Amino acid sequence: MLAQSTLKHFRLFRNPFIDDIRASEDVFMSSETRYVIHAMRDAAEGQGIIAVVADSGAGKTTLRRMLIQELRDNDKVSVIMPSIIDKSRVTAAGLCEAIIADVSDETPKRSMEAKTRQVERLLRDASRSGQRHVMIIEEAHDLTVPTLRYLKRFWELEDGFTKLLGIILIGQTELGVKLQEHRNSQAREFIRRCIKIELGPLGNDLSTYLEHKFSRVGSSLDKVLEPDALDAIQHRLRRKEKGIVVSDVYPLAVNNLLAEVMNLSADLGEERVSAELVLNA
């Protein structure tokens, strides 16, 4: 958290990192995030299968919220979201019940056969009336391999040449591993049909991201950070993994680091955050 004294020191009227997304205009959109949101929208409208994979704090949930808002405004695609918290316990019956609950006011049938027929009828009737549906599953890295196979069968529901359900999986990097065919050959039918998109670190978009964040609270990047502090942030948020340098310059990590050094800078009475402070905090 930024201390109240820090906000006053940098002449900020609110915290740029906490409760900062209040409208779509607050979301920072790089060329990569624009591509990801477009791919998610295409899967929703075209009834495709896509998996969005990214490290913790990369902004997956923000993009999901943005997509759902766009779909609501469009009103041609309805969203189905299974609510079970432990995604490792998702079953075919549970997916059927989620679809039935979000598509209709009907009570799910008792047998799996009856549930499946009920789901197919509801989605088919909706499709024929011009309403499409997409199932969005967050924390999808916890899904089991059998559940991935069930999802492929849900996606295969169709009315003639028209698919009845799009599927969007959103998960951490473990999902990308799970979608490697040589690791999970049992799920190869799903894996071969699923488009996997990885949302990487900010990289060269770091300065644009921070300029966007500070401009949304009435300030600017050059009023808070000295120019060489950006390279220092890139350096601080690097680590070695099996001898390979990995960047952790994701929005959440950047926000946390900046909150720490901005508080320290204010305590020391420094006008702006310096590279030295970033490297040694």
Average pLDDT of the residues in 224-232: 95
191 and 130 part of one domain:
yes
Q: Whole-number mean pLDDT of the chain? A: 93
Q: Residues 179, 228: one domain?
A: no
DSSP letter assigned to residue 269: T
Q: Are residues 192 and 221 in the same domain?
A: no
Q: What is the pLDDT of residue 21?
A: 82
Looking at the fold, whether 152 and 41 belong to one and the same domain comes out as yes
Q: Is pLDDT at 240 greater than 90 in this prediction?
A: no
Same-domain pairing of 225 and 120: no
- Whether 172 has a pLDDT exceeding 90, the answer reads yes
Domain membership of residue 107 as a residue range:
31-199
Domain annotation covers residue 273: yes
Question: Per-residue pLDDT tens for 61-77?
Answer: 999 999 999 999 888 89
* Tokens linked to 72: 């609501």
Report which of 232, 225, 230 is spatially closest to residue 279, judged by C-alpha positions: 232
CA distance 236 to 184: 35
pLDDT tens digits, 28-68? 999 999 999 999 999 999 999 999 999 999 999 999 999 99
44 and 96 both lie in a single domain:
yes
**43 shares a domain with 87:** yes
For residue 41, is it within any domain? Answer: yes
CATH of the domain at 179: 3.40.50.300
Does residue 201 carry a pLDDT above 90?
Answer: yes
CA neighbours within 13 Å on the CB side: how many for 177? 7
Domain harbouring 224, CATH code: 1.10.8
| Confidence at 171, pLDDT banded by 50, 70, 90 | very high
The pLDDT assigned to 1 comes to 83
The model's confidence at residue 159, banded by pLDDT at 50, 70 and 90, is very high
C-alpha to C-alpha distance for 250 and 255, rounded to whole angstroms: 9
- Compute φ and ψ for 11, nearest 5 degrees: 55, 45
Q: How far is CA 44 from CA 16, 30, 92, in A?
A: 31, 21, 21
52 beta partners: 170, 197
CB 55 within 8 A of CB 252: no
If asked whether residues 214 and 93 sit together in one domain, one would say no
Q: Are residues 127 and 42 in the same domain?
A: yes
Q: What is the mean pLDDT of residues 215-221?
A: 93
Distance CA 117, CA 211 (A): 52
| Cα–Cα dist 106/168, whole Å | 24
Asked if residue 116 belongs to a domain, the reply is yes
pLDDT at residue 261 tops 90: yes
Neighbour tally for 228: CB within 10 Å:
11
Separate counts of helices (H) and strands (E) for the chain: 13, 9
Domain finish residue from 199, 224, 247: 199
